[in-house]
């Protein structure tokens, strides 16, 4: 069986460095908010091209803390509306709700999986304060367009960069530097994955950086002196140490993903399969390689029978989730169509050449 993602294999090349890090970590005996967190924050900010990076416990908290931070700064208040992607991982929307704001779901585009920009004008109201796209599957949303829209309506821009580490625009700007603030997840399966939970916020907004840095640690402005009722959402010291090792190799790993995507796009040819669109840029770092197929479930069963594991990202759209019934009944036909047609093929940088050829052949032989 070709696994969808073999995390052990992904982390194997770093084994020696990771073990050395752990040894010195044990030797030092400093476990929370130490030099490794400080160094990772500095290095990841430099990598993204932002002035500030604040580590958090996970990606969901990174998104939520950005919004909580803006509330503390008086830029947002309870009940304000946030334009957010309907076609996203549920964490994006939970983050908005946890911050006491109202998610307004924007329809998706069939070809890019990201925002249908035409729907933005339909969804904006006098209460809209934030626009919050997700760079889904590792493809950057057109931020020139989003930022122009935000400027016209005086909105804050927040991006969910959990799947797009290292993606770079044609003009050389990195994912995480294209909005007022960005949330990142380093969940183990992400392009930059820790060996446990981890996340971060990147921004050029000094006031926001100062607030969230305190907020993630109980709101302490100094030890045991709380300025806000914050949360405990610190980036773990050991995960920060591991992330520093893996960050150095991120561009190489992303290049491998891009090369596999290219092989799929050139090799797969089947009338039942719709391939993702791509124009050769580095603005798509292929966190996932997602095809569409009307007979998606049949395709998935067929690939399984042929020794290829796939995953559906995601089977239930957020607005159809039991947990989000409060959003009410909404008409998002494109988003729903995507959820019924998408299937993610393995695109791990650790895939062998023979495995890639085997996947391409199996898909080309698929009949329904």
Ligand X SMILES: *Cc1c(COP(=O)(O)O)cnc(C)c1O
Q: Which residue is nearest to ligand X (CB)?
A: 59
- Report the residue from 70, 187, 286, 366 that binds ligand X according to the rule CB under 6 A: 187
- Should residue 88 be labelled a site residue for ligand X when binding is judged by CB under 6 A? yes
- Report the residue from 11, 41, 50, 58 that binds ligand X according to the rule CB under 6 A: 58
In terms of DSSP bridges, do strands 81-85 and 102-106 run parallel, antiparallel, or are they unpaired? parallel
Q: Which is nearer to ligand X, 11 or 134 (CB)?
A: 134
**Under rule CB under 6 A, which residues in 105-164 are in contact with ligand X?**
134, 160, 162-163
Q: Which is nearer to ligand X, 60 or 72 (CB)?
A: 60
Q: How far is the CB of 290 from ligand X (least distance, A)?
A: 13
- Should residue 92 be labelled a site residue for ligand X when binding is judged by CB under 6 A? yes
- Should residue 289 be labelled a site residue for ligand X when binding is judged by CB under 6 A? no
- Compute the C-alpha angle 335/337/339, nearest 5°: 70
Cis ω for the linkage preceding 314 (within 30 of 0): yes
From the list 57-65, 69-77, 174-182, 247-255, the region that binds ligand X by CB under 6 A is 57-65
Catalytic option among 21, 190, 214, 246: 190
| 190 carries an active-site annotation | yes
From the list 53-61, 116-124, 201-209, 292-300, the region that binds ligand X by CB under 6 A is 53-61
Q: How far is the CB of 63 from ligand X (least distance, A)?
A: 7
124: which 2 tokens?
Answer: 């904006």
- Should residue 59 be labelled a site residue for ligand X when binding is judged by CB under 6 A? yes
**Under rule CB under 6 A, which residues in 2-41 are in contact with ligand X?**
none
Alpha-carbon gap, residue 194 to 242, rounded angstroms = 7
- Report the residue from 52, 89, 242, 302 that binds ligand X according to the rule CB under 6 A: 89
- Could you list the active site residues? 190
Q: Which residues bind ligand X (CB under 6 A)?
A: 58-60, 88-89, 91-92, 134, 160, 162-163, 185, 187, 197, 199
């Amino acid at each position: 069986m070709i696994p969808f993602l073999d995390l052990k294999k992904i982390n194997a090349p770093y084994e020696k460095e990771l073990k050395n890090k752990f040894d010195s970590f044990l030797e030092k005996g400093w476990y929370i908010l130490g030099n490794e967190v400080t160094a990772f924050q500095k290095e990841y900010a430099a990598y993204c091209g932002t002035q500030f990076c604040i580590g958090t416990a996970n990606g969901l908290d990174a998104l939520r803390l950005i919004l909580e931070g803006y509330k503390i700064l008086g830029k947002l208040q309870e009940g304000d509306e946030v334009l957010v992607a309907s076609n996203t991982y549920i964490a994006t929307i939970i983050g908005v709700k946890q911050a006491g704001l109202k998610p307004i779901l924007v329809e998706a585009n069939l070809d890019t999986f990201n925002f249908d920009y035409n729907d933005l004008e339909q969804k904006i109201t006098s209460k809209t304060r934030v626009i919050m796209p997700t760079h889904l599957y590792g493809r950057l949303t057109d931020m020139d367009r989003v930022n122009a829209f935000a400027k016209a309506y005086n909105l804050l821009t927040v991006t969910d960069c959990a799947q797009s580490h290292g993606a770079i625009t044609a003009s050389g700007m990195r994912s995480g530097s294209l909005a007022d603030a960005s949330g990142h997840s380093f969940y183990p399966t992400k392009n930059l994955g820790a060996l446990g939970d981890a996340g971060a916020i990147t921004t050029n907004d000094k006031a926001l950086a100062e607030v969230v840095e305190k907020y993630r640690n109980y709101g302490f402005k100094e030890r045991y002196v709380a300025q806000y009722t914050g949360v405990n959402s610190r980036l773990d010291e050991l995960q920060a140490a591991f992330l520093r090792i893996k960050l150095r190799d991120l561009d190489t790993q992303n290049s491998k993903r891009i090369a596999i995507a290219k092989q799929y796009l050139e090799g797969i040819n089947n009338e039942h399969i719709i391939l993702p669109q791509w124009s050769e840029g580095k603005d798509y770092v292929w966190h996932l390689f997602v095809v569409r197929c009307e007979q998606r479930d049949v395709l998935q069963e067929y690939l399984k029978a042929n020794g290829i594991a796939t995953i559906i990202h995601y089977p239930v759209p957020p607005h159809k989730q039991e947990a989000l019934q409060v959003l009410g009944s909404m008409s998002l036909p494109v988003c729903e169509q995507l959820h019924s047609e998408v299937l993610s093929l393995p695109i791990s940088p650790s895939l062998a050449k023979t495995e890639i050829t085997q996947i391409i052949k199996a898909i080309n032989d698929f009949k329904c």
